Amino acid sequence: MKLTRNFSGKDSVIDLIREDYNILQILSRFNIPLGFQSKRIEDVCNENGIDTDVFLFIVNFILTGKIDSERLPVVSPVAIVDFLHNSHDYFLKYKFPHIRQNLVTALEESHSDINMAIISFFDSYMEEVKKHFNYEEKRVFPYIRALVNGDNSDYSINLFKRHHDEIGEKLTELKNIILRFYTTSMPNKMYDVLIDLYNAEEDLDSHNDIENHILIPLITMIECNYRSSANRDGNNNEEK
């Protein structure tokens, strides 16, 4: 259930976590260390060199499902990119290797005929995610950093928008295979894997939502402002 209230910098980090423990994953991707005591959100952000506006913008969007359109223009696109980059590292270097290890442990010898197929399916999915993230790291994020610095480019965020495919479909297929066909005498380990898969799927959906509802509209706005400014400069030069 989505919240109706927004958190501010004056709220404590502990209260934020109590509201929804899934926020712990967001704190992790901002590289915020534990040991919050009774500190306010703005204090923790300042101590760790984090843009408080961006932190609150992302957190409140995740908690409420709503975008504060009035504050969107003041959000730092570079800070959003940094957060998304950290998210990529989280998935590729920690989350998915962790799930894979648990999946291998949960497989039973009695299913030797399909065990390798399940691992292969998961590895194929990981490669798909890597390809998706790599495009953003190599093409989209450098473009955004250059745009903010005022550099020209033939690329546009609309190209990313058109090719921004969802990456959770194959994960859903894997869950269904395990749920429907993988009988096991000791199900606890496989249940843990399924919970990990469901959490990862939700986490990826949230990651995509941040890109679709925050990053893309923000960069579209910046591109429009740059084009308007360029047109005005062109008209002024013609008048001279």
What is the per-residue DSSP string for 147-197?
HHTT---S--HHHHHHT-----HHHHHHHHHHHHH---SSTHHHHHHHHHH
| 4-18, 37-51, 165-179, 183-197: segment of lowest average pLDDT | 165-179
Report the 10 Å Cβ neighbour count for 78.
15
DSSP state of 111: G
Chain mean position to CA 48: 20
At residue 191, does pLDDT exceed 90?
A: yes
By the 8 A CB rule, do 125 and 171 touch?
yes
pLDDT digits (tens, 9 = 90+) for 164-186: 776 767 788 899 989 998 888 87
CB-based contacts of 199, cutoff 8 Å, min separation 6: none
**Dist CA 11 CA 6 (whole Å):** 10
- Give the tokens for residue 69: 């359109």
Query: Residue 237: its pLDDT value, please?
Result: 55
pLDDT of residue 151: 83
Q: How far apart are the first and last CA of the chain?
A: 59
The amino acid present at 112, given as its one-letter code, is: S
Q: How many angstroms separate the CA atoms of 101 and 160, rounded?
A: 33
DSSP alpha helix (H) spans, the chain = 13-19, 23-29, 41-47, 52-64, 77-89, 96-106, 112-135, 141-148, 157-162, 169-181, 188-210, 216-239
Mean pLDDT for the stretch of residues 200-229: 90
Distance CA 33, CA 24 (A): 11
Query: Is 90 exceeded by the pLDDT of residue 105?
Result: yes
Q: Does the global pTM surpass 0.85?
A: yes
- Mean predicted lDDT score pLDDT of the chain: 89
Write the pLDDT tens digit of every residue in 54-71: 999 999 999 999 998 888
Token duo for residue 123 = 């590895």
